[in-house]
Amino acid sequence: MSETHDRQPGDLFLDRYLPEADQATREEAREALRQYVLHLIAIGDRILSRRQTAADSTDSDGRPTISASPDL
């Protein structure tokens, strides 16, 4: 049970794809994996930001392009 507490982020991937790598190679691969995941998160954030900006667009007078419901 204590073996699971000693695990670090990325160990599941490293065990699967680099099962016989030495410690230095594992750490190098762990950092590359970390950079890759951070890059994917940045791409996702950019996509969400652009979608939100498109949803908040205004017409030429600065009013929202989607009018409010008359019930509000």
CA–CA–CA angle 37, 39, 40 (5° rounding): 65
22-27, Cβ contacts within 8 angstroms, sequence gap of 24 or more: none
Tell me: the pLDDT tens digits for 12-32?
989 999 999 999 999 999 999
Whether 10 and 34 have beta carbons less than 8 Å apart is answered as: yes
Tell me: the pLDDT tens digits for 31-67?
999 999 999 999 999 988 887 776 666 666 666 566 5
Confidence (pTM): 0.61
What are the residue boundaries of the structural domains of the chain, listed by start? 20-53
